[in-house]
Amino acid sequence: MFILNVEGAINKDGKWLLIKRSEKEEHAGGLLSLIGGKVEKEGASIEILERTLHREIGEEVGIEIDNLRYVTSSSFVTDSGLNVVNIVFVCDYKSGEAFAKCPAEVDEVVWMSTKEIVGHSDIPVYLKGYIELADKFVGGNPAADL
């Protein structure tokens, strides 16, 4: 019935890691977004959301994360009519240097403060909302407002 998608809001030194989605992507191609992907069928499984997010972030930008905390969920319909339930987690940066590891999905990586994201005219309103909610988990880091 639904595609289940997970995304990670990753904060490091007061900045959030965003990707510019590949222009080739079926949904939201060319837009800035959080990193994540679809949950795959596994049968009986535990921590499937968390493992999916670890895998997707490693595959797309080559970093490791830790300490996932639930932020929010939403639903949307893709351009091709697929129904998606989206779950956002805030994640601690653990290690690695973020780069566009998967060019089929990621054109570039960008680190931006909460203030830069909220004030950016080309960032989708739902992403701004996700970041504002996630920012509460990192204590509204004053460095994020620079």
Query: For the segment 86-99, what is each residue's pLDDT rounded down to a tens digit?
Result: 999 999 999 999 99
Give the whole-angstrom CA distance, residue 55 versus residue 39: 10
The CATH classification number of 3-140 equals: 3.90.79.10
pTM for this model (two decimals):
0.89
Map out the domains of the chain as residue ranges.
3-140
Supply the pLDDT for residue 27. Answer: 62
> Residues 104, 60: contact at Cβ < 8 Å?
no
Q: Which of 46, 43, 44, 56 is nearest to 5 (CA)?
A: 56
Tens of pLDDT, residues 94-127 = 999 999 998 888 899 999 999 999 999 989 999 9
| Per-residue pLDDT tens over the stretch 30-74 | 789 999 999 998 888 899 999 999 999 999 999 999 999 999 999
